[in-house]
Amino acid sequence: MDVIDIEVTTLSAACGAEIKGVDLKRPLSDSTVRAIKDAWAKHLVLVFRGQSLSEDDQLRFASYFGALGDRKKAPEQLRSRAEGTQQENQKILLVSNIKVDGKPIGAFGEGEFWFHIDSGYTPRPYKYTFLYALELPSTGGNTMFSNMYKAYEAVPAALKAKLEGKKALHIHEYNRARQANSSGDISGIPHHFHPVFTTHPDTGRKTLFVDRLMTTRIEGVSAEESAAVLDELYEIGERREFIFEHVWRLGDFLMWDNRCTIHARTDFPKDERRLLRRCTVEGEPLHE
């Protein structure tokens, strides 16, 4: 019989748990994967400390949870800024501020990164993201996660009723700490309308599916009303009591569910290196 000996420790009242007793370098049994999935559904963000993972180890582990996602191609005019020079594998994205010969080796550069959903601007946002720490600054660059089940529950009933059946525009403009601009012709910019409230396909629970960085407009209401409502929704989604903030250590491996969390990064010193290796699992269309 397979003995499951993983240890799950809750990290905050909002979300997040640390898993001990698993070496992600090694192939895992079905029951261990099941135990990780159960913990993930409950805690939304899982942290594994002290891992030592090659690119192949990371991809093998991620593929226990679904088909691996491809890195999204940046629009032509932004490609030199958004496509790192050291990302050979289409399944891997390097989250880094490091430049070699003046060119970024990865993506997402330096500094603060507002709350967002990974590839929320596509028809099938990534289900899952997996991030592994390789080089870290001496301070900052923490990743914060907000529990969007809790955010949904906190939306006042009248606002829930008003937004029932409504969709919102998610657009990718490659800013990190300034809201995407969707006022002009957006035909050349990746974008998609998703329901404001989605039902998580696995848990059947309702979530708030908007973020400050890339959700810019609610369809079917005036621009003024859309802006006011979105401000209220961003504020609910970013309430401190819904947030777990992860302070990275080398060897940390994090995995999160993009369908029920949003995440952000705190600022860090510009002259210090930060490098994390990311992969994803493909998503599916989301419904209210």
Residue 230: phi and psi, rounded to 5, are -65, -40
Nearer Cβ to ligand SIN, position 126 or 149?
A: 126
| Beta carbon of residue 73, minimum distance to ligand SIN (angstroms, whole number) | 17
Enumerate residues 20-79 that contact ligand SIN by CB under 6 A: none
Residue 143 engages ligand SIN in binding (rule: CB under 6 A): yes
- Which x/- pattern, by CB under 6 A, does the window 79-118 give for ligand SIN? ----------------x------------x----x----x
Asked if 26 and 57 touch (Cβ cutoff 8 Å), the reply is no
Nearer Cβ to ligand SIN, position 65 or 227?
A: 65
| Beta carbon of residue 143, minimum distance to ligand SIN (angstroms, whole number) | 4
Nearer Cβ to ligand SIN, position 40 or 256?
A: 256
| Beta carbon of residue 176, minimum distance to ligand SIN (angstroms, whole number) | 9
Nearer Cβ to ligand SIN, position 22 or 93?
A: 93
Nearer Cβ to ligand SIN, position 206 or 277?
A: 277
Helix (H, G, I), strand (E, B) or coil at 265: strand
Torsion of CA 32, 36, 39, 40, to 10 degrees: -160
| Beta carbon of residue 119, minimum distance to ligand SIN (angstroms, whole number) | 10
**Burial classification of residue 160, based on how many CB atoms lie within 10 Å of its CB (0-12 exposed, 13-18 middle, 19 or more buried):** middle
Residue 265 engages ligand SIN in binding (rule: CB under 6 A): yes
| Beta carbon of residue 234, minimum distance to ligand SIN (angstroms, whole number) | 17
* Residue among 159, 161, 140 nearest 97 (CA): 140
Distance between CA atoms of residues 7 and 100, nearest Å: 41
Residue 127 engages ligand SIN in binding (rule: CB under 6 A): no
| Beta carbon of residue 228, minimum distance to ligand SIN (angstroms, whole number) | 27
Cα 53 from chain centre: 20
Residue 191 engages ligand SIN in binding (rule: CB under 6 A): no
Residues 6 or more apart whose CB falls under 8 angstroms from that of 5 comprise 21
Number of residues that bind ligand SIN (CB under 6 A): 9
| Beta carbon of residue 281, minimum distance to ligand SIN (angstroms, whole number) | 14
Asked if 193 and 169 touch (Cβ cutoff 8 Å), the reply is yes
Residues 6 or more apart whose CB falls under 8 angstroms from that of 169 comprise 182, 191, 192, 193, 215, 216, 217, 218, 219
Residue 254 engages ligand SIN in binding (rule: CB under 6 A): no
Q: Which residues contact ligand SIN by CB under 6 A?
A: 95, 108, 113, 118, 129, 143, 263, 265, 278
